[in-house]
């Protein structure tokens, strides 16, 4: 499989801007563990093989257990996620799928029970960014694992 389009090469100014936004989210009030779960879940929903591969490896490098990684797709049925993580995953699904009629107040209130308004705001920007990356990677047919050495993902031990 080959990548159909190298968006970083063709639109370097936009690639740089979204990369800057991505890196700035590391200073978010949302902890890395939740950001990893969000990146994985959004990438699963969007069918982005490149991003899913990347973010599973990042999560492993950040210390996430393999069993929890396997359970992200079934987080509602799994007992491995705390309420705060469940709220973030529910918000991720809603913001990624954008239901007709918008995100229900009931869901917002449930999420608000676990996260502050600042945390919900930062989380929403994180979800927005991973969705943008998913779309460009799916459209360009980015090849999973092709940037492992560049991003240090070979250290995950998931070859």
pLDDT single digits (tens) 88-115: 999 999 999 999 999 999 999 999 999 9
Q: Which long-range contacts (CB under 8 A, 24 or more apart) does 23-30 make?
A: 25/122, 25/125, 25/126, 25/129, 28/122, 28/123, 28/125, 28/126, 29/116, 29/118, 29/119, 29/122, 30/88, 30/119, 30/122, 30/123, 30/126
The average pLDDT across 59-87 equals 98
pLDDT of residue 158: 83
pTM of the model: 0.95
pLDDT of residue 1: 77
Annotated domain spans of the chain: 11-156
Topology of the domain comprising 11-156: AhpD-like (1.20.1290)
pLDDT of residue 157: 84
In tens, the pLDDT along 15-58 reads 999 999 999 999 999 999 999 999 999 999 999 999 999 999 99
């Amino acid at each position: 499989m080959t990548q159909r389009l190298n968006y970083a090469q063709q639109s370097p100014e936009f690639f740089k801007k979204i990369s800057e936004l991505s890196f700035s989210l590391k200073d978010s009030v949302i902890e890395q563990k939740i950001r990893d779960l969000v990146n994985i879940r959004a990438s699963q929903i969007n069918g982005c093989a490149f991003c899913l591969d990347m973010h599973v490896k990042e999560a492993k490098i950040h210390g996430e257990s393999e069993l929890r990684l396997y359970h992200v797709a079934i987080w509602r049925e799994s007992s491995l996620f705390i309420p705060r993580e469940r709220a973030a995953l529910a918000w991720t699904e809603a913001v990624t799928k954008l239901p007709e009629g918008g995100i229900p107040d009931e869901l917002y209130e449930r999420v608000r029970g676990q996260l502050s308004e600042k945390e919900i705001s930062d989380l929403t920007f994180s979800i927005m960014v991973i969705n943008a990356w998913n779309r460009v990677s799916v459209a360009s047919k980015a090849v999973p694992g092709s940037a492992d050495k560049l991003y240090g993902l070979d250290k995950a031990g998931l070859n």
